Structure 1
Amino acid sequence: MSTQTVLPIDHAGLVELSKARREPEWMTALRAEGLQLAGSLELPKLEKTRIDRWNLQSFGQYKTAEALSSLEQLPEAAKLLVTGEGEGHPSNLLVQRNSGVVYHSISEELSKQGVIFTSLEDALIHHEDLVRQHFLNVVSKDENRLTALHSAIWSGGVFLYVPKNVEVAVPVQALFLSDDADASFSPHVLIVAEQHSKVTYVDNYLSEGGAGELIQNGVVEVVVKAGAKVTFASVHNLGSSVTDLTYRRALVENDGGIEWIIGEMNYGNAMSETTSILKGNGSTSDAKVICIGTNDQKLNVTTRAVHFGKSSDSQMITRAVMRDEATAIINGITKIEKGATKANGEQTEKVLMLSPKSRGDANPILLIDEDDVTAGHAASVGQVNPEQVYYLMSRGISREEAQRLIIYGFLAPVVSEIPLEAIQSQLGLLVERKLGQ
Structure 2
Amino acid sequence: MTTQILLPVESDQLKKASLSNGEPAWLTESRVNALGLAAELDLPKLEKMKIERWNIQDFGALRQNRQEISQQLPESVASLVELGDQSNLIVQRNGDVVFSRISPELAAKGVIFTDLETAVRDHADLVKSYLHTAVKSDENRLTALHAALWNGGVFLYVPKNVVIETPLQSIFLLDDTTTVFSPHVLIVAESNSRVTYVDNYISGEFSDKIVHNGAAEVFVKSGAKVQFATIHELNENTTDLIYRRSVVENDGSIEWIIGEMNNGDSMSETLSVLKGNGSLSDAKVIAVGSGSQKLNLTTKAVHFGKSSDSQMITRAVMREKSTAIINGITKIEKGATKANGEQTEKVLMLSPKARGDANPILLIDEDDVTAGHAASVGQVNPEQIYYLMSRGISREVAERLVIYGFLAPVVSDIPLEQLQHQLQELIERKLGQ
Residue 275 of structure 2 is aligned to residue 283 of structure 1: no
Counterpart in 2 of 1:91? 87
Distance of 1:99 and 1:172 partners within structure 2: 19
Instruction: Mark the runs of 5 or more structure 2 residues left unpaired by the alignment.
Output: none
Write the letter of the residue equivalent to 1:80. S
Q: Secondary structure at the match of 1:17?
A: helix
Does 1:32 find its partner at 2:56? no
> What are structure 1's unaligned runs of at least 5 residues?
none
- What is residue 419 of structure 2 aligned with on the other side? 423
What's the secondary structure of 2:424's corresponding residue? helix
Distance 2:95 2:193 in 1: 31
Within 2, Cα distance between the matches of 1:356 and 1:298?
Answer: 16
State the TM-score, normalized to the length of structure 2: 0.98
Mapped partners of 2:381, 2:207: distance in 1: 39
Equivalent residue for 2:262, pick from 259, 266, 273: 266
How far apart are the structure 2 equivalents of 1:69 and 1:16? 26
Q: Is the 8 A contact 1:181 1:211 kept in 2?
A: no
Aligned match of 1:103: 99
Q: Are the equivalent residues in 1 in contact too, given 2:95–2:153 (CA < 8 A)?
A: no
Q: What is residue 41 of structure 2 aligned with on the other side?
A: 41
Q: Which residue of 2 aligns with 1:114?
A: 110
1:71 touches 1:79 (CA, 8 Å); kept in 2? no
Post-superposition Cα deviations, 1:26-83, rounded to whole Å, max 9, x if no partner, equal: 11111001001101100000100100000111000133554453434x143x2111x2
- Say whether the 8 Å CA contact 1:67–1:103 is kept in structure 2: no
Distance in 2 between the 1:2 and 1:368 partners?
A: 37
1:22: which partner in 2?
A: 22
Q: How many residues align?
A: 430
Q: Distance in 1 between matches of 2:37 and 2:265?
A: 25
| 1:130 paired to 2:126 | yes
Moved over 6 A (4+): none
Q: Is the 1:180–1:209 contact (alpha carbons within 8 Å) kept by the matching residues of 2? A: no
Query: Match for 1:227: what amino acid?
Result: G
Output the CA distance in 2 between the equivalents of 1:343 and 1:71: 48
Distance in 2 (CA, whole Å) between partners of 1:142 and 1:2 is 17
- Aligned with 1:334 (options 305, 315, 330): 330
Higher mean alpha-carbon deviation, 238-247 vs 18-27, is at 18-27
Structure 2 equivalent of residue 69 of structure 1: 70
Shift of 1:408: 0.1
Residues 306-334 of structure 1: CA deviation (Å, up to 9, x unaligned): 00000000000000000000000000000
Partner in structure 2 of residue 3 of structure 1: 5
User: Over the residues paired in the alignment, what is the CA RMSD in angstroms?
Assistant: 1.0
Q: CA deviation at 1:422?
A: 1.1
Alignment-derived partner of residue 436 in structure 1: 432
Identity among equivalent positions (%) equals: 65
For 2:239, which of 240, 243, 254 is the aligned residue? Answer: 243
What is the alpha-carbon distance in structure 2 between the residues aligned to residue 36 and residue 247 of structure 1? 20
Structure 1 residue identity aligned to 2:335: G
Equivalent position amino acid for 2:27 in 1: M
Q: What amino acid sits opposite 2:84 in the alignment? A: G
Structure 2 CA distance for aligned equivalents of residues 100 and 249 of structure 1: 24
Residue 162 of structure 1 aligns with an amino acid whose one-letter code is V
Instruction: Give distance in 1, aligned partners of 2:5 and 2:88.
Output: 41
Equivalent residue number for residue 59 of structure 1 = 59
- Where do 1:15-414 residues align within 5 Å? 15-63=15-63, 64=65, 66-67=67-68, 69-72=70-73, 74-76=74-76, 78-81=77-80, 83-84=81-82, 87-414=83-410
Instruction: Look up the equivalent residue of 2:15 and give its one-letter code.
Output: V
Q: 1:429, CA displacement in angstroms? A: 0.4
Determine the C-alpha separation between the residues in 2 that align with 1:142 and 1:21: 24
CA deviation string 1:211-240 (max 9, x = no partner): 200000000000000000000000000000
